[in-house]
Amino acid sequence: MSTRSAAYQDILRASEQHGCPLCHIGQKTARSYLDNLLWGSVNDPELRAELDKLLGFCGQHSRQMMTFQGERLGVAIVHHAMLKEALRRVQRAGAPPSRSLSARLGLRKSGDGSDSPPVLEPAGQCPVCAKQVEIEARALDALVENLVDDLDGPLRDAGGLCWEHLGLALQRCSDPKAQARLVEVQSAVWEELVGHLGEFIRKRDYRFQHEPISDDEAVSIEKAIAALTGQYPPVS
């Protein structure tokens, strides 16, 4: 199976559930990266050296690690090594706890030895975010290449893309026909959503409170949040 067809299949599968399929693909990528890391690779010296260099994960993915049942030991091993690396960097920069302690430990000060503030070697990009960006870019290309009269239907049924992925999709879309179709699909789903939200608000007015709120109207708030901010896994 070619890379493109694998990405195409990913979009099709992701579109079977509601919400931005690109967000779903990104989340699946993150879950499987973290799962592999915690179950198999946590003691792989090469990977660990790479993680130490990057100095960890973003806040979202660090916290997501803690949602993997029974894997606190793996999370502890990874963070033990990375925190040691952070400690090494802070000491190398000559940062406090205190100048006298630094001197006792024989640590050098930053720069020319003047009183300029210590500079820490920056952390790299979160490896899970980097993997997500790579996989999502591939999926976005498959989406825009196969949108017209093909993936436009499943995308419409899934409720379209989130704001961020829509922007990225339009940027990567050079075919005017595909651009127009993407705007058309997205407009249709958001017009419907705006309508449901409007009805929800109207029916909260005491004059119309006797009118029942439909299921679509009831979930329109969550859908509007997801449309504007993306699909996030529940935080536990």
Residue ranges in contact with Zn ion by CB under 5 A: 20, 22-23, 58, 61, 126, 128-129, 162, 165, 230
- In the three-class reduction of DSSP (H, G, I as helix; E, B as strand; rest coil), residue 114 is classed as coil
In whole angstroms, the minimum distance from the beta carbon of 113 to Zn ion comes to 37
**What is the smallest separation between the CB atom of 101 and Zn ion, expressed in angstroms?**
34
- Give helix 3-14 / helix 127-145 axis angle, nearest 10°: 90
Closest contact distance (angstroms) between CB of 59 and Zn ion is 8
User: Which residue, 29 or 102, has its beta carbon nearer to Zn ion?
Assistant: 29
- C-beta of residue 135 within 8 angstroms of C-beta of residue 21: no
Which amino acid appears at position 209 of this protein?
Answer: Q
Min dist. Cβ of residue 45 to Zn ion (A)? 22
158 Cβ neighbours under 8 A, 6+ residues apart:
14, 15, 16, 17, 18, 19, 20, 21
Q: CA-CA distance, 173 to 155, in Å (whole number)?
A: 16
Distance in Å, CB of 216 to Zn ion, minimum: 21
- Pick 95 or 162: Cβ nearer Zn ion: 162
Residue 11 vs 22, nearer CB to Zn ion: 22
Residue number with CB closer to Zn ion (20 or 78): 20
Task: Please choose, from the candidates 11, 12, 16, 20, the residue with its C-alpha nearest in 3D space to the C-alpha of residue 190.
Answer: 20
Whether the Cβ atoms of residue 210 and residue 197 lie closer than 8 Å to each other: no
Length of the chain: 236
Q: Which lies closer to Zn ion via its Cβ, residue 55 or residue 213?
A: 55
